[in-house]
Amino acid sequence: MTNGKAKRPRRGRSRSASGAAAARRARSDVWRLRLYVAEGSPRSRTALANLQRLCEEHLQGRYLIEVVDLRLNPRLARGDEIVAIPTLVRRLPPPIRKIVGDLSNVDRTLVGLQLRVES
């Protein structure tokens, strides 16, 4: 598990004016996700693995994951009003969304992230 390191999205390089506009749009399409964990706990490890798998399947490299270990930085929980761990916070695109738990319920997680419409 990483300590606060974010996974970088894959981006292509562009040389034309229209390519530059496409690059700007690609940056704005990046999902910024913050996962609050207690590093070393089984549920936190499961949440990170599930999140990485879901992101690769549904966001194909257009995401950044920041992992925050609340054992090392408990004050960071206040800003996002974290009351349980693991908790995933989708910071971008707006609106901010929170999902508590190990993210093992794929349908619930996708609906919570607004990647799938609730049926």
The 10s digit of each residue's pLDDT in 32-86 is: 999 999 988 999 999 999 999 999 999 998 999 999 999 998 999 998 999 999 9
Q: What is the CATH number of domain 17-112?
A: 3.40.30.10
The 10s digit of each residue's pLDDT in 1-27 is: 444 444 444 443 333 444 444 444 445
Q: Tell me the pTM.
A: 0.74
In the chain, what are the domain boundaries?
17-112
pLDDT at 111: 95
Q: Which H, E and C letters describe the chain, residue by residue?
A: CCCCCCCCCCCCCCCCHHHHHHHHHHHHCCEEEEEEECCCCHHHHHHHHHHHHHHHHHHCCCEEEEEEECCCCCCHHHHCCCCCCCEEEEEECCCCEEEECCCCCHHHHHHHCCCCCCC
More confident residue, 102 or 2: 102
pLDDT at 4: 46
pLDDT at 58: 95
